[in-house]
């Protein structure tokens, strides 16, 4: 039982997450195989490989991405504390994307082979897992709508709002600030924009006073206006399970 015991998990204290009973915590802990600490730039899961583990992010941030044959990269989603990843490989067998650490990260690892046990013995956790998958599916659908129908300014506004909401909900940052240690290139690859145009659009949002992203810190002073620009509704933070 290396690393933190689940019942002492600092993340779990945040009321973003649905509380677990001691019995539930004990089970999750038995499901856990260890903690993984990685340096920035480390590839945690590799497209095409067959990972034996599933992960919950305890600390740090990363990207989930696909690389195309022509070398282009599509960032599918960012990984923040509390996020769960690896279910696809856990269920389908082979990773369809890679996961890379952007900052130093700590991940809680679970045995993929225990997944079926979880479904048999703990239907509540199985339900949680499906809940997580459904929420991710919803988010990916919104991403598709952004790439397909929004112009560059709206796309960036959309991404910044959603990122801000997620990081705030995870309890990161203070006041109107939130840490965002990615490169502009990462955001560009997430939105299907060129680096140059991403840079210019960020400048425009800055000069409009809507979004300031400097030195790894994102500041949204007028998130409502930014959301209007992106043509989206703000999402109220919703309690969710932490695996």
Residues that bind DNA (CB under 7 A): 151-153, 183-185, 192-197, 199-200, 202-203, 214
Closer to a copy of itself by CB, 9 or 75: give it.
75
**Per-residue x/- track, 22-51, a copy of itself (CB under 8 A):** ------------------------------
Closer to a copy of itself by CB, 33 or 88: give it.
88
User: Would you call 198 exposed, middle or buried from its count of C-beta atoms within 10 A (0-12, 13-18, 19+)?
Assistant: buried
Closer to DNA by CB, 30 or 217: give it.
217
Q: How far apart are CA 179 and CA 42, in angstroms?
A: 20
User: Could you give the strand order of the β-sheet that contains 62-67, starting from the edge strand earlier in sequence?
Assistant: 43-45, 98-101, 62-67, 73-79
CB of 184 to DNA, least distance (A): 4
Stretch that binds a copy of itself, among 87-95, 177-185, 202-210, 215-223 (CB under 8 A): 87-95
Q: How far apart are CA 42 and CA 53, in angstroms?
A: 16
Closer to DNA by CB, 179 or 192: give it.
192
Asked whether the beta carbons of 66 and 73 are under 8 A apart, the reply is: yes
Q: Is 134 in the site for a copy of itself (CB under 8 A)?
A: yes
Q: Is 119 in the site for a copy of itself (CB under 8 A)?
A: yes
Q: How far apart are CA 63 and CA 72, in angstroms?
A: 15
Q: Which does 231 bind (CB under 5 to 8 A by kind): DNA, a copy of itself, none?
A: a copy of itself
Q: Which does 9 bind (CB under 5 to 8 A by kind): a copy of itself, DNA, none?
A: none
CB of 230 to DNA, least distance (A): 13
Q: Is 235 in the site for a copy of itself (CB under 8 A)?
A: no
> What angle is formed at CA 240 by the lines to CA 179 and CA 136, rounded to 5 degrees?
75
The SS3 assignment for 32 reads: strand
Q: Which does 149 bind (CB under 5 to 8 A by kind): a copy of itself, DNA, none?
A: a copy of itself
* Residue whose structure tokens are 């109220």: 236
Q: Is 143 in the site for a copy of itself (CB under 8 A)?
A: yes
Asked whether the beta carbons of 84 and 132 are under 8 A apart, the reply is: yes
Q: Is 183 in the site for a copy of itself (CB under 8 A)?
A: no
**CA separation, residue 111 to residues 38, 51, 83, 114, 150 (Å):** 18, 10, 17, 5, 40
The Cβ of residue 217 has, within 10 Å, a number of other Cβ atoms equal to 13
Q: Given the rule CB under 8 A, which residues bind a copy of itself?
A: 66, 68-70, 72-74, 76, 87-88, 90-92, 96-97, 116, 119-120, 123-124, 126-127, 129-131, 133-138, 140-145, 147-150, 189-192, 231
């Amino acid at each position: 039982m290396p690393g933190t015991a689940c019942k002492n998990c600092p993340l779990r204290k945040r009321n973003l997450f649905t509380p677990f009973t001691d019995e539930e915590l004990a089970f999750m802990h038995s499901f856990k195989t260890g903690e993984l600490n990685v340096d920035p730039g480390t590839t945690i899961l590799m497209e095409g490989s067959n990972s034996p583990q599933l992960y919950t992010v305890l600390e740090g941030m990363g990207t989930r991405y696909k690389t195309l044959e022509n070398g282009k990269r599509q960032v599918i989603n960012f990984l923040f504390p509390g996020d769960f990843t690896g279910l696809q490989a856990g269920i389908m067998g082979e990773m369809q994307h890679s996961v890379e650490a952007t900052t130093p990260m700590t991940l809680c690892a679970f045995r993929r082979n225990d997944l079926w046990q979880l479904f048999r013995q703990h239907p509540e956790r199985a339900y949680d897992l499906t809940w997580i998958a459904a929420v991710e599916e919803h988010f990916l659908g919104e991403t598709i709508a952004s790439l397909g129908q929004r112009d560059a300014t709206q796309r960036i506004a959309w991404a910044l709002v959603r990122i801000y909401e997620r990081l705030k909900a995870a309890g990161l940052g203070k006041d109107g600030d939130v840490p965002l240690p990615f490169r502009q290139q990462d955001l560009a690859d997430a939105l299907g924009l060129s680096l140059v145009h991403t840079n210019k659009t960020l400048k425009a949002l800055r000069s409009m006073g809507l979004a300031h992203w400097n030195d790894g810190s994102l500041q949204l002073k007028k998130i409502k206006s930014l959301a209007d620009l992106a043509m989206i509704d703000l999402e109220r933070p919703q309690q969710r399970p932490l695996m």
